Amino acid sequence: AAGVIQSPRHLIKEKRETATLKCYPIPRHDTVYWYQQGPGQDPQFLISFYEKMQSDKGSIPDRFSAQQFSDYHSELNMSSLELGDSALYFCASRRTGVNTGELFFGEGSRLTVL
């Protein structure tokens, strides 16, 4: 079965650079979530999209922006990168209207800021 696809899997950037992470949800899933997991921490919710509209916002820095496209894939854009942005970034998707509401996660994109 198709899973949530994230790219790139690994990314190394310098401080003040820009990075873009991509997420391709499971087919027919209309909602996408982004999470950030720092070293030794639990995942923290950043932002979510439903039907290409932002549905909820968490602790996402103003330097970050995201959007969901017509094919339901999503991109997380991070600018003016800081050392503290080094983390594992997860994307998750779900299909609304399904009773369980279960979220399915991708393998994550590991960002290292030097």
Partner 1 sequence: KQEVTQIPAALSVPEGENLVLNCSFTDSAIYNLQWFRQDPGKGLTSLLLIQSSQREQTSGRLNASLDKSSGRSTLYIAASQPGDSATYLCAVIETWGKLQFGAGTQVVVTP
Give residues with Cβ within 8 angstroms of 53, minimum separation 6: 68
Nearest Cα to 108, choosing from 3, 39, 42, 9? 9
C-beta closer to partner 1: residue 72 or 90: 90
C-beta closer to partner 1: residue 26 or 79: 26
> Residue 110, interface with partner 1 (CB under 8 A)?
yes
Residue type, 102: E
Least Cβ distance, residue 14 to partner 1 (angstroms): 22
Least Cβ distance, residue 16 to partner 1 (angstroms): 26
> Residue 8, interface with partner 1 (CB under 8 A)?
no
Torsions phi, psi of 85, nearest 5? Answer: -80, -10
Burial class (CB in 10 A: 0-12, 13-18, 19+), 51: exposed
> Residue 101, interface with partner 1 (CB under 8 A)?
yes
**By CB under 8 A, what part of segment 45-74 binds partner 1?**
45, 48, 50, 55-56, 58
Q: Measured at the alpha carbon of residue 25, what is the angle toward residues 20 and 30, in degrees to the nearest 5?
A: 115
Point out which residues bind partner 1 (CB under 8 A): 31, 33, 35, 41-45, 48, 50, 55-56, 58, 88, 90, 92, 94, 96, 99-108, 110
